[in-house]
Amino acid sequence: MLTRRQAGLAAASLLATPALVRAQEAFPSRPMRFIVPVAAGGSADLQARRVAQRLQERWGQPVVVENRAGANGIVAVQAFQQAPPDGHTVFATPAGPIAINPSLYRSLPYDPFRDFSFASLISVIPLVLAVHPSVPANNLQELIAVTRRRGAEFPFANAGIGTPSHLSIAMFRAMANAGDVTSVPFGGSAPALTSIVAGQTLAMFDAAVSIAPFIRDGRLRPIAVAHSERLGLLAEVPTLIEQGVPNFLAATWMSLCMHAATPRERVGRLAAEVDSILAEPALRELLTSQGAIVRGGTPEDFAAFARAEAEKWGRLVRETGATVDA
C-alpha cells in the first residue's frame, strides 16, 4: 500500500504540465526556425543568418531562417505565435515589433512584454544621416539651413511608418530645429535607399551597414551618426552630438525572442549560447565592420533594455502623433 508521501508524488507526476515535460526533454531535439520580420538582405536578416549558422554548427541541428516581411513585423509575429512554445521557433527581430509597434498601433494583436520571453540582444545598430550629392550641405548645420529654406519641398526617405528611420526624422525636426521636411515612407530600407540614390528623395536616416556602401562609392554624402561616438565603419563621420545636437541617439537593434511559455532553462540556454558566439573574435569583427555594436548579456539585461527602448520610442510616437490603423 502506498504511503501518503508516495501517493502525493505519484499524483504530482500524473499532473505534470506540458511545459515541465518539454523542459525535461533534450533541447534542441529537432530543427529550429528563426522567423525574421524583414526581407532578406538587410542588416537584421544578415545578423540573424550569421547567428543561425553558428548555432547550427554548435548544436548539430538545422536552423532555418524564414523571412516574413509585412505590416511592421505583425505578419512575422503571428507566424511565430502559431508555433509550439517549446523553444524550437525563435523570433529574430529588430527594434520595431518590440519597441515601437505597441505605441504606433491603436490595436495590436500581441503584447511583446506579455507574449515574449526576451532571450538575447545581439547588437545595437546606430543610424546614419546621409544626403544625395545634389544637396548643398556638407555638415549638419548646412543641412539644417537647407531644410529651413525648403521646408516641405525637401523630401526625406524612410524605411516605413513607425520604423526608427521614420521616427528619427521627427527627432531631427524637433531636436535640431530643422525645417518641416516631408517624410516619404517606403516598404523597407532597400527601396528607400533606391529612391535617395536616384535623387527622388534627398536625405535619409538608415542603419550604418545598409547606407555605408552608398557613402563609400560616392552615391550618398554622409552628414552625421546618430550615436554617442563615431563608428569604426565610418570613422570620418561626426556624430550629431559633436555637431551641436545633444542627446540625439537613434538606432535599431537585433535580438532573439521566444514564447513567454517557453521553459526558462531553454531561454537561458539560447542566451548563453549566443553570448558565447558573440564572443568569437571573427564574428565580433564582422559585426563591428558592419557598423553594429555587439551586445549579448542575460535575458534580464535584454528585457530591461527593451522596456527602456519601448518607453523612448513610445514617447516619440506620442509626441509626433504617428499612428497606423491595425
pLDDT, residue 62, reads 97
pLDDT, residue 39, reads 81
Low-confidence ranges of the chain (pLDDT < 70): 1-25, 323-326
Query: What long-range pairs does 46-52 form, CB within 8 A, spacing at least 24?
Result: 46/209, 46/290, 47/122, 47/123, 47/254, 47/287, 47/292, 48/92, 48/254, 50/283, 50/286, 50/287, 51/92, 51/122, 51/256, 51/274, 51/277, 52/92
How many percent of the chain have pLDDT more than 90? 74
pLDDT, residue 217, reads 96
- Which of 96, 319, 97, 124 has the alpha carbon at shortest distance from 227? 124
Domains of the chain with CATH codes: 32-124+252-320 (3.40.190.150), 126-234 (3.40.190.10)
pLDDT, residue 46, reads 87
